[in-house]
Amino acid sequence: MSESAPEAPLPDKGKDIGEWYDGVLERAELLDTRYGVKGFVVYRPNAMRIVKRIYRMFEEELERGGHMPMLLPLVIPMANFRRETEHVKGFEDQVFYITEAGGKPLDEKLIVRPTSETAIYPMFSLWIHSYGDMPMRLYQSVAVYRHETKATRPLLRGREFLWIETHDAFEDEAGAMAQIREDLEVARKVYDGLGLAFLVVEREPYDKFPGAESSYAYDALLPNGNVLQIATTHYLGDHFTKAFRCLVHRPRREQQESAYDLLRRGDLQDPRRAGHDAWRSLRPRPTLRALRPRSGHSPDTPQGFGR
């Protein structure tokens, strides 16, 4: 009875991490890249079992901290997408457009979700009317879509990828920044549980999330000495609440103020450290101030868990 030949060893990841990585994905039966559309892969059962476990780890931590699950539509009206100028400039070249349905052109173009800021803020403006509605902490575990023009790589750079994103609204900047610290702690617990080595880094202004005041990232260390961004959190200030006229009524005064909304996509370290502008100079509170969604008052946002 003949015995099957022993499996060849994987390539040396110290010499060629790319070849080693592709070998692991294939032998472990994690993904199939033969779908036929660039940047899109098929997640096989072994991969989805891992994905579901990681989702569970994040979702349990988020719900323990008061977040509630939600699900936003996959498509975003073009008019909403264009409401925040910096955001549009940062993503316009990466979005997939839907221009017709049933063989007929649509009255308004839709975009396939590259991220959900311009999907959630119109809803915040409908859901949040008073200080009693805050803080609002929501999350969803979904796929997002970006037309990457660079070389794609399974799980590392794709045109469809899975993530968890959280979107929160707070009465003031202090509440939003406290949530960022909590985001960092949630991610630290999960990544420590996964045995990942990582660095927490505040992104330079040129590299921050489009529309954010500041961005923080978890970068994982790779065997070849490079790093891979595995999560981010963004402090959005009042940019999106102003754009979507999210205001909250303050009953004790006959005036309206903005609130702070916080949208989360990753974890980061405590930004309340020497030199961080968001902590050193809090904004004055004028009679009318806009942050993000509220009926008369806008909220401030950090953006968490995501790529």
- Structural domains in the chain, CATH included, are 27-74+112-303 (3.30.930.10)
What is the maximum alpha-carbon separation in the chain?
90
The DSSP letter of residue 305 is B
Band (234; pLDDT cuts 50, 70, 90): confident
Tell me if the bond preceding 105 is cis, omega within 30° of 0.
no
Are 79 and 72 contacting, i.e. CB atoms less than 8 angstroms apart?
A: no
Quick one: average pLDDT of 29-52?
96
Q: How far apart are CA 142 and CA 84, in angstroms?
A: 23
- Mean of pLDDT over the chain: 79
Closest CA to 172 of 237, 107, 263, 124: 237
The per-residue pLDDT for range 207-225, each reduced to its tens digit, is 877 778 888 889 998 888 8
pLDDT score at 261: 43
Which range is least confidently modeled, 153-162, 190-199, 235-244?
235-244
Report pTM.
0.78
Q: Amino acid identity, residue 266?
A: G
Percent of the chain with pLDDT over 90: 43
pLDDT at 266: 37
- Range among 32-46, 80-94, 166-180 with highest mean pLDDT value: 32-46
Pairing status of strand 227-237 against strand 301-303 = antiparallel
